[in-house]
Amino acid sequence: MPLDINIWILAGTGFTAGLLGAMLGVGGGFIIVPVLTMLGLPIQFAIGSSLISIVTNAATSTSVYIRNNMTNLKLGLLLSTTLIPGAAAGAFLASRLPAQVLTVLFSLLLLFVAGYMFPRKQRRLTVEELEAQKSVNEKSHASHAWLDGSYFDPAINEEVSYQVHRPVVGLVTSFFGGMVSSMFGVGGGIVNVPVMNRLMKVPIKATVATSGFLLLTTTMTGSLIYIYNGFLAPYVAGPLCLSVFIGARLGSVIAHRVHTLTLVIIFAIFLVLMAILMALKGLHVFGD
């Protein structure tokens, strides 16, 4: 392993990852892992260091979001019941499955999710259709109404209340999100954010805040397994954690004040960029 990685490169990488990761609820490994592999660090060590830094990111942003009452802790705890086993499974599988094929397939999945996240014009429903839809939603929603939440949005100066839909879908996809997080060191938010926002109908700001809480539980699980297997470079993880903390602190404050549509567009663009990076890695353009 190289021992002469420039500390300023590490600091800049960590700050950028922390800033964007906190704003989007996705960690920051989508920046850290490719950069570390291009600097010559073996992929297992890059993923292990990334997961450790994302723990810092998630803990920092989550503390801010909880203080602002944006995190849906009930939903987060529910999804963690499948997210944590998924993270453990992903960490064990990471060293046994063909990384090249998985990363290319994963990049295609990201492109699909990005297209799903981009805002689109919706057809206006008639009054009859709206009433029928409302009736169906109320009946199906009654059993899990305890997951509903609310938060104050300073960008529009209003209290936002919302209902949580399709919790079973969230539980299934959270397991996959946990696996993705540990296998690639990128954080499970790339799966959790689109699912919570689009399928479960959680507003993007509450989604980002809750995703940060989920990242904390996921990356703690995955990083412990990587540490146990010896895949940790302390001289890399140290500067990363410090700079990620600073970036995440700033990112969580910014995210609280920007408009919802801006966050959605940023997240979709981020997914496209990450898909390209993952495909390049899978095709050996950089990294092993």
Burial of 243 (0-12, 13-18, 19+ CB in 10 A): buried
In a domain, 2, yes or no: no
pLDDT digits (tens, 9 = 90+) for 43-54: 778 888 888 888
In a domain, 166, yes or no: yes
pLDDT digits (tens, 9 = 90+) for 115-160: 766 665 655 545 554 454 455 455 556 667 788 888 888 877 888 8
Whether residue 160 contacts residue 207, with contact meaning beta carbons closer than 8 Å, is answered with no
In a domain, 1, yes or no: no
Q: For the chain, what is the domain count?
A: 1
- What is the C-alpha separation between 153 and 150, in angstroms, rounded? 10
In a domain, 11, yes or no: yes
- What is the C-alpha separation between 161 and 202, in angstroms, rounded? 10
Q: Take residue 162 and report the two structure tokens written for it.
A: 């919302």
3-state DSSP call for residue 250?
helix
In a domain, 288, yes or no: no
Write down the pLDDT at residue 135.
52
Q: Which structural domain range is residue 37 located in?
A: 7-282
Beta strands 149-153 and 158-162 are antiparallel
In a domain, 287, yes or no: no
Q: Answer whether residue 81 shows pLDDT above 70.
A: yes
Q: Answer whether residue 3 shows pLDDT above 70.
A: no
pLDDT digits (tens, 9 = 90+) for 258-276: 776 676 677 677 777 767 7
Whether residue 36 contacts residue 236, with contact meaning beta carbons closer than 8 Å, is answered with yes
In a domain, 30, yes or no: yes
Whether residue 161 contacts residue 153, with contact meaning beta carbons closer than 8 Å, is answered with no
Write down the pLDDT at residue 111.
76
Rounded mean pLDDT, 71-75: 92
Whether residue 174 contacts residue 35, with contact meaning beta carbons closer than 8 Å, is answered with no
- What is the C-alpha separation between 243 and 52, in angstroms, rounded? 12
Rounded mean pLDDT, 223-231: 82
* Per-residue pLDDT band at 249 (split at 50, 70, 90): confident
Q: Answer whether residue 2 shows pLDDT above 50.
A: no
Distance (Å) of CA 275 to CA 56, 76, 110, 139, 180: 24, 26, 6, 38, 13
Taking the mean position of all CA atoms in its chain, how far away is CA 238?
22
Q: Answer whether residue 183 shows pLDDT above 50.
A: yes
Whether residue 28 contacts residue 259, with contact meaning beta carbons closer than 8 Å, is answered with no
